């Protein structure tokens, strides 16, 4: 009669599983062990024969002693076989899908080839029909011309009259006035700088197309406030009212939108001069001169102003030699400017007086 034991314990290592069953009054020597894939059975060799059967649990995952296989090996084999079967089934399925796709592609190519042949045949048929129709029309026209020649002189006179009526009357005599596009630069031919003038116009056109839209403040501005020319005019009005800081802000935003317009730097330099920001005035004047190239008649006035403003900033910093150089450059552009002449003469007197003191 089998005994039901509930207080057994077990432990397992890397190589073995140990099961401990307490049986009171029974010696554990000379025990027979019988192991199958589903259960483990122990029997006492001596009489009376006492036995015990243990069912395998899935969590026993190592080998027993004496080299007997445990249930985990069987489960692992089954799982491995199942995985291999799944891989094989997936491989077979993928192979079938690939073959089906290749067959579909082959049929599609065959269908396209057939359609191309049919289209080519249809085009050849249309060409043949066109040739036949052309041949028939030529034959019909030649037959009508033969009938017309047999009609007599009266029909010839009629056709000649129609031909004369279809000729238009001659044009009346008159004159055509042509207006040529005026030149932008009123330069004499012997002093022409066509290449430089064209380069300046091209450079200005390119500068007008440059626009920086990656500015966070743009979303808060009106549409006209996003135009550098509108901002320049706004800055000029603020400068006229002696609001120099607001004018600088307007020029700053315009330069952020388009940093290729020289007048923005030139006007901002004037604001810095008023606010005694002399180094910034020199920087803006230099930037304006850098953009006012090549030197042509159209930008002569702006170049003269840039030299005067930079020279004024140098003189206020007591750098009279550098200031005189800018004033002389301005006089080369506009020799008849009396104000620049007088200022240059004053600077020369200051330099001479300083040299005498030295």
In this structure, are residues 37 and 75 in contact, taking their beta carbons and an 8 Å threshold?
Answer: no
User: Which tens digits make up the pLDDT trace of 297-323?
Assistant: 888 899 999 999 999 999 999 999 999
User: Quick one: what percent of the chain has pLDDT higher than 90?
Assistant: 33
Cα gap 116→345, rounded to integer Å = 90
Specify burial of residue 178 (Cβ count, 10 A radius: 0-12, 13-18, 19+): exposed
Structure tokens at 184: 């932008």
Q: How far apart are CA 208 and CA 232, in angstroms?
A: 13
β partners of residue 44: 31
Interior angle at CA 124, CA 119 and CA 126, nearest 5: 95
Mean pLDDT of 323-328: 93
Whether domain 1-74 has CATH 3.80.30? no
What is the C-alpha separation between 345 and 336, in angstroms, rounded? Answer: 14
**pLDDT tens for residues 226-272?**
788 888 999 999 999 999 999 999 999 888 888 888 999 999 999 99
Between 45 and 199, residue with greater pLDDT: 199
pLDDT of residue 131: 80
Share of the chain above pLDDT 70, in %: 65
pLDDT number for residue 59: 42
pLDDT at 134: 76
Higher pLDDT, 260 or 35: 260
- SS3 string of the chain? CCCCCCCCEEEECCCCEEEECCCCCCCCCCEEEEECCCEEEEEECCCCCCEEEEECCCCCCCCCHHHCCCHHHHHHHHHHHHHHHHHHHHHHHHHHHHHHHHHHHHHHHHHHHHHHHHHHHHHHHHHHHHHHHHHHHHHHHHHHHHHHHHCCHHHHHHHHHHHHHCCCCCCCCCCCCCCCCCCCCCCCHHHCCHHHHHHHHHHHHHHHHCCCCCCHHHHHCCCHHHCHHHHHHHHHHHHHCCCHHHHHHHHHHHHHHCCCCHHHHHHHHHHHHHCCCHHHHHHHHHHHHHHCCCCCHHHHHHHHHHHHHHHHHHHHCCCHHHHHHHHHHHHHHCCCCHHHHHHHHHHHHHHHHHHHHC
**pLDDT per residue as tens digits for the range 163-221:** 555 667 777 777 887 877 765 555 555 566 677 777 777 777 777 776 666 666 666 66
Q: pLDDT class for 121, splitting at 50, 70, 90?
A: confident
The span from the CA of 32 to the CA of 66, in Å, is: 13
Neighbours of 35 (CB within 10 A): 17
Per-residue confidence band for 161, with pLDDT thresholds at 50, 70 and 90: low
**Given this chain, do its domains 1-74 and 227-352 carry the same CATH topology?**
no
Q: In the structure, what pLDDT confidence band is assigned to residue 63 with cuts at 50, 70 and 90? A: very low
What kind of architecture, by CATH, is found in domain 227-352? Alpha Horseshoe (1.25)
Peptide bond into 146 cis (omega under 30): no
- Residue-wise pLDDT tens digits, 79-110: 888 899 999 999 999 999 999 999 999 999 99
- Residue 295: its pLDDT value, please? 84
Burial class (CB in 10 A: 0-12, 13-18, 19+), 185: middle
Those residues whose C-beta lies under 8 Å from the C-beta of residue 174, and which sit 6 or more positions away, are: none
DSSP bridge pairs for 34: 41
- pLDDT for 296 beyond 60: yes
Encoding tokens for residue 172? 């009346």
What's the pLDDT score for residue 154?
Answer: 47
Q: How far is CA 317 from CA 174, 258, 304, 313, 356, in A?
A: 70, 30, 20, 6, 20
Q: Higher-confidence residue: 284 or 220?
A: 284
Collect all residues with Cβ–Cβ distance below 8 Å to 315 and sequence separation of at least 6.
323, 347
pLDDT of 2 strictly over 70:
no
Identify which has the larger pLDDT, 23 or 302. Answer: 302
Once rounded to an integer, what is the mean pLDDT over residues 56-63?
46
Domain ranges (residues) in the chain: 1-74, 75-131, 227-352
Distance CA 245, CA 271 (A): 8
Q: What is the pLDDT of residue 319?
A: 92
- What token pair was written down for 225? 């406030």
* Greater pLDDT, 350 or 74: 350
Average pLDDT over residues 10-39: 67
Cα first-last separation, the chain: 134
């Amino acid at each position: 009669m089998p005994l039901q034991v509930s207080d057994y314990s077990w432990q397992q290592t890397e190589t073995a599983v140990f099961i401990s069953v307490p049986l009171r009054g029974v010696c554990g020597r000379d025990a027979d062990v019988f192991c199958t894939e589903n259960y483990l059975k122990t029997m006492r060799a001596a009489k009376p024969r006492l036995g015990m059967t243990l069912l395998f649990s899935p969590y026993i995952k190592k080998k027993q002693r004496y080299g007997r296989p445990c249930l985990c090996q069987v489960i692992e084999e089954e799982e491995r076989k199942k995985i291999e079967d799944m891989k094989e089934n997936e491989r077979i399925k993928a192979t079938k899908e690939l073959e089906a796709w290749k067959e579909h592609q082959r049929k599609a190519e065959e269908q396209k080839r057939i359609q191309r042949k049919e289209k080519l045949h249809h085009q050849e048929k249309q060409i043949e029909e066109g040739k036949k129709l052309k041949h028939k029309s030529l034959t019909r026209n030649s037959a009508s011309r033969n009938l017309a020649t047999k009609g007599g002189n009266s029909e010839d006179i009629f056709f000649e009259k129609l031909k004369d009526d279809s000729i238009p009357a001659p044009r009346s005599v008159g004159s055509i006035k042509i207006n040529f596009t005026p030149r932008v630069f009123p330069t004499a031919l012997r002093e022409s700088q066509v290449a430089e003038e064209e380069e300046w116009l091209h450079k200005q056109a390119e500068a007008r197309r440059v626009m920086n839209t990656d500015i966070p403040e743009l979303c808060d501005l009106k549409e006209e406030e996003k135009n550098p020319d509108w901002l320049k005019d706004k800055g000029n009005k603020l400068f006229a009212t002696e609001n120099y800081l607001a004018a600088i802000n307007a020029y700053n935003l315009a330069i952020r939108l388009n940093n290729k317009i020289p007048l923005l730097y030139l006007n901002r330099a004037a604001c810095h001069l008023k606010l005694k920001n002399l180094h910034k005035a020199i920087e803006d004047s230099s930037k304006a001169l850098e953009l006012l190239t090549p030197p042509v008649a159209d930008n002569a006035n702006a170049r003269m102003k840039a030299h005067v403003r930079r020279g004024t900033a140098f003189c206020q910093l007591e750098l009279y030699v550098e200031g005189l150089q800018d004033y002389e450059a301005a006089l080369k552009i506009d020799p008849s400017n009396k104000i620049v002449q007088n200022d240059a003469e004053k600077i020369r007197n200051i330099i001479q007086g300083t040299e005498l003191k030295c």
